[in-house]
Amino acid sequence: MNGEVASQTEVERRDRVSELELLFSISQILVRSLDVKDTIQPVLNAVADGLQMVRGAITLLDRDTGEIITEAAYGITEEQRQRGMYQLGEGITGKVVETGEPMVIPSVRANPAFLDRTGARRGSEAEDVSFICVPIRIGSETLGAFSLDRTRADQEALQDDVRLLSIICSMIAQAVKTRQSAMEERRRLMAENSRLQQELEERFRPANIVGNSSSMQAVFDMIAQVSRSEATVLIRGESGTGKELVAHAIHFNSKRAHRPFVKVNCAALPETVIESELFGHEKGAFTGAISSRKGRFEVASGGTIFLDEIGDLSPATQVKLLRVLQEKEFERVGGNQTIRTNVRIIAATNKDLEKLIEAGSFREDLYYRLDVFPIHVPPLRERKSDILLLADHFVEKYSQENHVTIRRISTPAIDLLTNYHWPGNVRELENCIERAVLLSTDEVIHSHHLPPSLQSAESTDTSLHSSLNEALKNLERDLILDALKSTRGNMARAARLLGITERIMGLRVQKHDIDPRNFR
């Protein structure tokens, strides 16, 4: 008798261990992904392995349509799974979802309420099985149901299965609720993003400039204010910040948009030809002037002329430019006919014009004529939030140009891009991304595709391996050794080379255990 009790206790213990192993396995599956669609089928498969399940299905309630849809199935075909759709109160599954109470049918064949909507039990498969359906619920809310066919069993075994399935369903319910909450939050965020996007679109933003940072929004606002006017604009900012793009935006959003936009780089043209380039020349005005030629101001008539690097203009050219700004007229080189001009001037510089005025290399009156409406373009280091936007823009641009596919930028590469100080600004970023696009072989931009100047100690595994004191000690020893080598072991001369006294030299030699005789 005692042996039978002990044997029964051992069986119960093994059953509990198996249940715990199954529950642990399901918990591991559910934490793999936040998307319940990725985990619900593996959960069903795990239950099939742990219980005597012939067929099974997990159905979820779609609150928008009121339909109960089979999300995952075991032991039936895909076509049968798709037929597994119910309304609230319809069939056993519909009643369980509607009432939130489990139902057990000891014999499917003997129960007329069983719909067999999937058709999996018809014909040769119409074996007599037991059917269990347990609600997936959290609190008072029913989210779906877990149903299964199992080999026929007595009432006690079926109730044990209901108990175990109820635990599993509560675990599934937590995952489903998390997903629903995430979906609701996503819909809320999408609605909020749509609203914000609409607000941004209502504000002026040039199509040719990428950036959402507050500093760039200020630039966009200033472009919008000045574009419709005829005011002279002075664009200031470091090299590579996009001053020419701002000039483009001003012109193409102005009343002169249908007229020419002429660019002149004042730093790229030699002083001997800059005047001819700007104002033109007459035939024979200088050696090589075999015919008359219009200057950029004449070509830009009715439109806009963009004078880049205005701070590099020579004093003589500055005088003539000042006259154009004041009188709207000029003469060609070698000519005496006054030409009237109707041109809007936009100038740009990366130099400190105030310092140039103090040094006498830039005219103060010209500065005030140009500085009617100043716009400062911020450096990239002051608009960190725009770095990834610009990087994505350049990835798309150079992927198309080079007929390659880049799907993403790796996280380490993003860290390098956002942590770098970008002395070359947007132009440097563009060059880095173009290089990375060409180097990528797996449709991903990795950190090693970026130039060495962007690399960090962590990305190259070159972090410091010694303290500051150790580094200074090593440097001091190297300097003493070099001095002794240069003086062939003469400590007095070595001390003079190092700018220290002979006494300190002797102490340092002793400290580092150096024998000067080795250098004689």
Residue 289 pLDDT > 50: yes
DSSP-based three-state secondary structure for 310: helix
Q: How many helices (H) and strands (E) does the chain have?
A: 18, 17
Average pLDDT over the chain reads 85
Q: Which residues contact 84 (CB under 8 A, 6 or more apart)?
A: 57, 59, 69, 70, 73, 76, 117, 118
> In this structure, are residues 380 and 387 in contact, taking their beta carbons and an 8 Å threshold?
yes
Report the C-alpha gap between 262 and 259 in whole angstroms.
10
Percent of the chain with pLDDT over 70: 89
Predicted local distance difference test score (pLDDT) of residue 13: 61
Mean pLDDT of 70-95: 86
Write out pLDDT tens, residues 409-429: 988 889 889 888 899 999 999
SS3 state at 141 = strand
Q: Which of 108-112, 187-191, 445-449 bottoms out in mean pLDDT, i.e. has the lowest?
A: 108-112
DSSP code of 510? H
**Confidence at residue 197, expressed as pLDDT on a 0 to 100 scale:** 60
Beta-carbon contacts of 55 under 8 Å, excluding residues fewer than 6 positions away, are 73, 74, 75, 76, 120, 121, 148, 149
What is the mean pLDDT of the segment spanning 437-465?
79
pLDDT in tens, 191-223: 877 776 665 444 556 777 888 888 999 999 999
427 sits in the region (left: phi over 0; alpha: psi -120 to 50; else beta) called alpha
**Residues sharing a CB contact under 8 Å with residue 46, sequence separation 6 or more, in sequence order:** 22, 25, 26, 29
Rounded Cα gap, residues 144 and 14, in angstroms: 31
Helix 214-227 × helix 243-252 angle, to 10°: 40
pLDDT of residue 10: 58
Nearest to 183, CA basis, from 339, 34, 11: 34
Radius of gyration of the chain from its Cα atoms, rounded to whole angstroms: 40
Q: Containing H/E element for 505?
A: helix 502-511
272: left (phi over 0), alpha (psi -120 to 50) or beta: alpha
Residue 176 predicted with pLDDT over 50: yes
In sequence order, what are the beta bridge partners of 373? 233
The yes-or-no verdict on residue 459 having pLDDT over 80 is: no
Which H or E element spans position 72?
strand 67-74
pLDDT in the model for residue 272: 76
Q: Which residues pair with 58 in a beta bridge?
A: 72, 146
pTM over 0.85: no
Query: Is 70 exceeded by the pLDDT of residue 372?
Result: yes
Describe the crossing of helices 425-439 and 387-402 by its angle, rounded to 10 degrees: 50
Alpha helices (H) along 151-289: 155-202, 214-227, 243-252, 271-279
- The C-alpha atoms of residue 287 and residue 390 are separated, in whole angstroms, by 47
For the record, the structure tokens of 145 come out as: 């149901």
Residue pair 454/418 in contact (Cβ under 8 Å)? The answer is no
Q: Is 441 within 8 Å of 407 (Cβ atoms)? A: no
- Give the span between the Cα atoms of 228 and 238, in whole angstroms: 26
* Cβ proximity of 422 and 239 under 8 Å: no
Structure tokens at 481: 């050794």
The C-alpha atoms of residue 339 and residue 324 are separated, in whole angstroms, by 10
Name 99's Cβ contacts closer than 8 Å, sequence gap at least 6. Answer: 135
pLDDT of residue 520: 76
* Two tokens, residue 341: 């001009």
Checking if the pLDDT of 349 tops 50, the result is yes
